[in-house]
Structure 1
């Protein structure tokens, strides 16, 4: 078994770093300087033609797009550790649903909002109407997640999985960076606090 993990600090690779830390899987971490163009070098483009991180190489096979990486890690290493449901179970279908929802619907809305409000993006790109619309969409999605967590400690049930780690790694910094007030969402707030206090999560977030 061999895993090489290509990442850059303060990027979407953080969610993969969290999962690798929680799974406690041995791997080689290769840090990229995106400003220097490490991700555009020919050797890396041969692994990921998009020239983006995160990318992992598992036993010689490159995997890119963070949702694909999470699924690959879950299926290969997470079942035995209780961090991913077994293949063919109803729980696996639930995990896949919420993982993809988090990366497509929730993260998509969060980044669209930040693109229209955040200092990370040029002011000339900001659109007040788009920001207002996306903020309403984002609050609706956060309420959906809060409702999902009503009566259950984790998104898929009684156990923490890669789904929780993935969602929390995005929201842990994203809600703060976007200045989103979610104090009234008690289920979400409690869940996020529990995930962010996990030792592996704290270690991975500090490193990325």
Structure 2
């Protein structure tokens, strides 16, 4: 078993960094300098033709797209660690639904909001009406997650899973960067604070 993880700080690869740290699976980390254009070099494009991180190579097979990587890590290494439901179980179907919902619906809306408001994006591309619309969408989605966490310590129930880790890796940074206040979402705030204290999450955060 071998894993090579191509990583750049302050990127969506952070969610995979957190998961690998929590899984405690041996792996090699290759830092990709995005500003220097490492992601566009032929050797990297042979692994990921999109020229992006995260990219992993598991037992010689390259993978890209973080949702696919999370599922692969969960199925291969997460079941034994209690971080992913057993394949074919009802819980796995729930995990897949929430994982994809988070990456496509929630983080998609959050990214669109930031694209129209954040200093990370050129101000000439900001659109006030789109920002208002997407903020409404983001808040509605955050309420869905808050309701899901009502009476549950974690998204799937009693145990922390890769779903929680994937969510917190992006929300921890995204809500701060987007300046979205979640003080009224008590379940969500408590959950974020709780997972942020996990040693593996702290370690991954310190290494960015």
Settle same-fold status: TM greater than 0.5: yes
CA apart distance, 1:29: 0.2
CA apart distance, 1:61: 0.3
CA distance in structure 2 between the partners assigned to 1:40 and 1:205 by the alignment: 26
Following superposition of structure 1 onto structure 2, how do residues 151-170 of structure 1 map, counting pairs within 5 Å? 151-170=151-170
CA distance in structure 2 between the partners assigned to 1:195 and 1:61 by the alignment: 31
CA distance in structure 2 between the partners assigned to 1:69 and 1:51 by the alignment: 16
**Alignment partner of 1:4: what SS?**
strand
Following superposition of structure 1 onto structure 2, how do residues 19-30 of structure 1 map, counting pairs within 5 Å? 19-30=19-30
| Matched residue, 1:69 | 69
| Matched residue, 1:192 | 192
| Matched residue, 2:118 | 118
Q: Give every structure 1 segment of 4 or more consecutive aligned residues whose post-TM-superposition deviation is greater than 2 Å.
A: none
CA distance in structure 2 between the partners assigned to 1:87 and 1:25 by the alignment: 19
| Matched residue, 2:3 | 3
Is 1:94 the counterpart of 2:94? The answer is: yes
CA apart distance, 1:206: 1.6
Structure 1: segments with no counterpart, 5+ residues: none
Q: Please, what TM-score do these two structures have when normalized by structure 2?
A: 0.99
**Alignment partner of 1:132: what SS?**
helix
CA apart distance, 1:159: 0.3
CA distance in structure 1 between the partners assigned to 2:201 and 2:57 by the alignment: 22
CA apart distance, 1:207: 1.1
Structure 2: segments with no counterpart, 5+ residues: none
Supply the RMSD in Å over aligned alpha carbons: 0.4
**Alignment partner of 1:80: what SS?**
helix
| Matched residue, 2:34 | 34
**Alignment partner of 2:56: what SS?**
strand
CA distance in structure 2 between the partners assigned to 1:26 and 1:152 by the alignment: 31
**How many aligned residue pairs are there?**
208
CA apart distance, 1:57: 0.2
**Alignment partner of 2:80: what SS?**
coil
| Matched residue, 2:177 | 177
**Alignment partner of 1:79: what SS?**
helix
**Alignment partner of 2:174: what SS?**
helix
| Matched residue, 2:104 | 104
